[in-house]
Structure 1
Amino acid sequence: MVVITIIVLAFTVIMLQMWKQANENNVRIHEVTAVGTGEPVQLFFISDTHARKINDKMIQNIKGQVDAVIIGGDFVDRRTTKQTLLENIQLLKTLGPIYFVWGNNDIEFDAQKLQALFLQHEVTVLENEAVKIGKDQNFSICGVTFSPNLEQVKEALRSCDLNKTAFIAHNPELFTSVHKHYKPLLSIGGHLHGGQIRIFGWSIQPHGYFKQQGRYFELVSNGYGTSLFPIRLGAKPECHVIKIIFEQNKTFTVN
């Protein structure tokens, strides 16, 4: 009986710690340096919110307006209430204009209904297309659907200066095939949740990361919410502030 009690208590403590970790509010700060001139561009990126309510204090602590808020897919799923969705949109709008790319779980909410709500609340859906942002309007963010073909990617990037472009795809497994043909300055994705549950650092999915390879940068987020159960271990929830700075005489080491 004592052994069973100890096991139950230990399990309860572990589950509480995993629940606590899943509800953390971590904002990662990244800096991207690009060759060129112009005013810096600042992005806020959040993905895989699912049914989680975005923390108001976390958003308020992000100082100043950003040039674009990017929702990297799975903003909702079948568990998400309309109230949570609308509260999250209104909160993100306090930072700046919102751009959305589709994730695999968003359609569970009802894609047509979600599209209508986005239109009503001035959320721009990027579906294999790009838009110009920033004070100088010389930086592009390009968003693609969850499973675009190469022709759709080509069309989306057609009008972009790749050295001044952030390429957004919910599933970062797309990056390998895209980068064989195109090298945008910054590629951003989510979807994998960093594995969500990592046992001794191991999971079937890689942990999120931010890395530089020569003049190109790549960000894969652990995501902000959770799928299935609201618990995490070793893959903390996160969202991101990305500052893009242009330097005319910048040089890079080619990897």
Structure 2
Amino acid sequence: MVTAVLLVLLGLCAGAAAVMAVLMVAGAFRSRIIAEEIVLAGLPGGFDGYRILFITDIHRRRLPAALLEEYRGELDAVFLGGDLTEKGVPLKRLRNNLALAASLAPVYAVHGNHDYQAEIRLVDQLIRSSGARLLVDENVKLECSGAEIVLTGVDFPRTGGKRAYHALPPVTARDDGAFRIILVHDPLWLAQQKEVPADLILAGHTHGGQVVLPFIASRHADEFYRHYNAGMYDLPAYGNDTYQPKMLISRGFGTAHLPLRWGSPAEMHLLTLRCRQE
């Protein structure tokens, strides 16, 4: 009798584990776009309503053409936040993803750690040949309705490590104090900054934990990730009297290592910038 009960319990556990595994795989291949407005002090009026499609951590996935093509003609820019690919992914997949992104709006991209583990020379050739602007520790001006802002792309350290980042590229005297967006793959970059001369930071890398089980605390080794995991954050400690940066950390579109997600669904972001009404 006891043996029969144990077998039933084991069977139930195995069945539950199988169902959970299926759900985790299904969660890894969801395609959803989170639309949100970001209200920003200091945003030039010409950029009120500026729309950015922000995608990070694509890894091995194919971007969903049927979903994204609905936004053609409705976007001002596409920002790719690193890990556009990874080792072993066919270059054709990266080429197709970039072509789709470039068909929607001007594309700006930065490297992630997995990009450097792939054939980086070929990866960079594909990025640039697609028409995307690859930002390697450099600034670019964005223009809209006669107004300008500065976009800074922070390159992931080619050698890895937490302290190998280069200093932020300086802006010109003319652009000193201009509204600035920083695109960086790993938000841990922030932990090495005493002050961030920017108004908005867009990052990824964390996958929101990717597999987040209930009643189990975050196992991130670095304290920074236990606080800055996924979502929108105000960063008063990194600002000054004239600005308080905001940071969005995306859970990313793809997965690292295994195609599994639980409690941290895949996401892309449709960001609409708004001026703060005084």
Give the TM bin, normalised by the shorter chain: 0.7 to 0.9
Q: How large is the Cα RMSD of the aligned pairs?
A: 2.4
Work out the CA distance in 2 between the residues paired with 1:3 and 1:182.
55
Tell me the residue number matched to 1:185.
199
1:125 corresponds, among 118, 134, 138, to 134
Q: Which residue of 2 aligns with 1:20?
A: 26
1:183 shift after superposition: 3.3
1:42 alignment partner in structure 2: 51
**Deviation sequence 1:155-180 (CA, Å, 0-9, x none):** 254565555211111110112333x2
Q: Which of 87, 107, 114 is the equivalent residue of 1:105?
A: 114
Q: Does 1:70 align with 2:92?
A: no
Output the CA distance in 2 between the equivalents of 1:163 and 1:177. 23
- Cα distance in 1 for partners of 2:61, 2:72 equals 23
Match of 1:210 among 225, 229, 232: 232
- For 1:220, the aligned partner's letter is I
Q: Which amino acid in the other structure matches residue 68 of structure 2?
A: I
Is the aligned partner of 1:233 residue 2:262?
yes
Q: Are 1:140 and 2:150 an aligned pair? A: yes
| 1:94 alignment counterpart | 103
The amino acid that maps onto 2:152 is C
Partner of 1:11: 17
Contact 2:151 2:183 survives alignment (8 Å): yes
Tell me how far 1:216 sits from its aligned partner: 2.6
**Which residue of structure 2 lines up, in the alignment, with residue 198 of structure 1?**
212
> Which 4+ stretches in 1 moved above 6 angstroms?
148-151
| Change in 2 beyond 3 A, CA 1:212/1:162 | farther
Residue number among 235, 243, 247 corresponding to 2:272 in the alignment: 243
How many residue pairs match? The answer is 248
In our comparison, the structure showing a higher alpha carbon Rg is 2
* Unmatched 5+ stretches in structure 2: 1-6, 221-225, 237-243
What CA deviation, in whole Å up to 9, does each residue of 1:55-93 have, x standing for no partner?
Answer: 122212336332221110101001321221111111111
Structure-2 separation of matches of 1:107 and 1:198: 27
Tell me which amino acid in the other structure corresponds to 2:265: K
In 1, Cα distance between equivalents of 2:113 and 2:170: 19
Q: 1:213 and 1:112, CA in 2 relative to 1: closer, same or farther beyond 3 A?
A: closer
Match of 1:79, as an amino acid?
A: G
**Aligned counterpart for 1:172 among listed residues 187, 192, 199:** 187
Instruction: Report if the CA contact (8 A) 1:34-1:163 is conserved.
Output: no
Larger mean Cα displacement after TM superposition, 135-144 or 2-11 = 2-11
Q: Work out the percentage of aligned pairs sharing the same amino acid.
A: 24
Distance in structure 2 (CA, Å) of the matches to 1:93 and 1:26: 19
CA drift at 1:26: 2.0
> Which residue of 48, 51, 55 corresponds with 2:60?
51
Q: 1:163 to 1:216 in 2, by over 3 A?
A: farther
Give the structure-1-normalised TM-score.
0.87
CA distance in 1, matches of 2:165, 2:252: 28
Contact preservation (8 Å) 2:196, 2:245: no
Structure 2 match to 1:61: 70
Aligned to 2:241: none
CA distance in 2, matches of 1:126, 1:231: 30
Gaps spanning 5+ residues in structure 1: where?
none
CA contact (8 A) 1:130 1:142 kept: yes
